[in-house]
Chain A
Amino acid sequence: AQSVTQLDSQVPVFEEAPVELRCNYSSSVSVYLFWYVQYPNQGLQLLLKYLSGSTLVESINGFEAEFNKSQTSFHLRKPSVHISDTAEYFCAVTRPWGQGGKLIFGQGTELSVKP
């Protein structure tokens, strides 16, 4: 079975500061990894994904995440955050085979960007 742990439930940060949201996963098989973002009163939006290949993946709005197999981590980073990045962020995994659409999510990290 797979599991996901997001190490911080809340991360307050000032605007234009760097941020790292931490995610560790547990799985005995290879996995696909994702970061989703949820703005208030909205559903989830895919921020970025790791399927295979380069371990560093980037989103169009400046976030990046690095897959580290030895440390079973997939931390999300942004060098300079904006007020509009305030949201809840979820790390998720799925198995490449036999899972259909089932995503396993972490508990979420609330990112609060202050002016």
Chain B
Amino acid sequence: KAGVTQTPRYLIKTRGQQVTLSCSPISGHRSVSWYQQTPGQGLQFLFEYFSETQRNKGNFPGRFSGRQFSNSRSEMNVSTLELGDSALYLCASSSRGRSLLSSSYNEQFFGPGTRLTVL
């Protein structure tokens, strides 16, 4: 099986612009999560999507948004970019099921990330 793919791998934007990042999960995986990685804040959870619905969200401003399509591919969008948005954005997919109440564990597989630089 192909792994999680993220496009583009590198991106340079200027302050005030908006950006869209894409993530294609492993075939058959319906859960996609996004994380932001910065030297100062480390790895922080952005949000998770399952079957086109956001079911968990981290503590990020509304400028950060996402969506998931019927084929499980996901995009995240950052509007009005700030210098502090420069980061590695990682996407992870899993075969985790619908219920948040399930205690079964489904491994998350991470993509290589998109390196966003805001100038």
Contacts and interface: CB of A to CB of B under 8 A. Distances in A.
Interface residues of A, number: 25
B61 interface: no
Interface of chain A, main secondary structure: loop
Contact of A43 (B33, B55, B96, B113): B113
A7 interface: no
B31 A100 contact: yes
Contacts of B108: 46, 101, 103
A92 B45 CA distance: 12
Interface string A91-115: 0100011111111111110000000
Chain B interface residue number, banded: 20 to 34
A45 B27 CA distance: 18
Given A43-B4, A45-B110, A106-B42, A100 B105 contact: no
B43 A90 contact: yes
Contacts of A41: 112
A108 B37 CA distance: 11
- Counting from the closest, the 4 A-B pairs by CB-CB distance are A43-B110, A105-B43, A101-B33, A96-B103
30 contacts: A32-B105, A36-B110, A43-B4, A43-B90, A43-B110, A43-B111, A43-B113, A44-B90, A45-B110, A46-B108, A46-B109, A49-B107, A51-B105, A96-B103, A97-B101, A98-B100, A98-B101, A99-B100, A100-B48, A100-B56, A100-B100, A101-B48, A101-B96, A102-B45, A102-B48, A103-B33, A103-B43, A104-B45, A105-B43, A105-B44
